[in-house]
Amino acid sequence: MVGAVVELVEVGPDDWRLWRELRHKALGEASYAFKSTLAEWQGDGDREQRWRDRLAIPGSYNLVGVVDGRPVGMASGYPEDDPEVVWLHSMWVDPAARGVGVGDRLIAAIVEWAAKSGARKMMLGVVEGNTNAEALYVRQGFAYTGEVNGMMPDGVRRDLAMARTLNA
């Protein structure tokens, strides 16, 4: 994949099957990195409407990274409580596609979208000890805020807040 061309595709509710496939892969491969678990999104939770609703969150921007015609990454941005703050969610890149710029492209596109939408700050959570994700986020201009977003499902590790200022 060296020298790979990364294509970004915006997805919405009608793309729920693709999003589900990537999210299942993400939660299976990197369960240590997410507050949600694969079990929560499978079984009774694996309903079409739930996936459509996830991709229809008001004000959201959902992207899939594609390399050589294969979906290899995902990320979302959406406001939560404060309209001037956008959160980066569901960030994941397939291990086979890491190191070729998929993560950087996904984050840069969401940052650009957020700034154009009027947000002044982007927030995210990263699990303490996830040094690869931390390096990606720092490279994209994020820094730790000192806040803790909560505990991970294992009850041991914390989800640490990172933020960056957005330029309009």
Q: How far is CA 1 from the centre of its chain?
A: 22
Give me the mean pLDDT over the 33-56 stretch. Answer: 86
Q: What is the DSSP string of 103-117?
A: HHHHHHHHHHHHHHT
Q: Is residue 11 part of a domain?
A: yes
Provide the domain limits for residue 59: 6-165
Q: Give residue-wise pLDDT tens across range 17-27.
A: 999 999 999 99
Is the pTM above the cut of 0.75? yes
CA angle (107, 110, 116) in 5-degree steps: 140
Q: How far is CA 86 from the centre of its chain?
A: 12
Q: Is residue 1 part of a domain?
A: no
Q: Is residue 35 part of a domain?
A: yes
> How do beta strands 158-165 and 61-67 pair?
unpaired
Q: Is residue 141 part of a domain?
A: yes
Confidence of residue 79 (pLDDT cuts 50, 70, 90): very high
CATH code for position 55: 3.40.630.30
How many structural domains does the chain have? 1
Looking at residue 5, what DSSP letter applies? P
Helix (H, G, I), strand (E, B) or coil at 47: coil
Q: What pLDDT is recorded for position 2?
A: 62
Q: What pLDDT is recorded for position 168?
A: 65
Alpha-carbon torsion angle 157, 101, 86, 114, nearest 10: 180
Q: Is residue 133 part of a domain?
A: yes
Q: What pLDDT is recorded for position 11?
A: 98
Looking at residue 69, what DSSP letter applies? T
Q: What pLDDT is recorded for position 3?
A: 66
Give me the mean pLDDT over the 20-48 stretch. Answer: 86
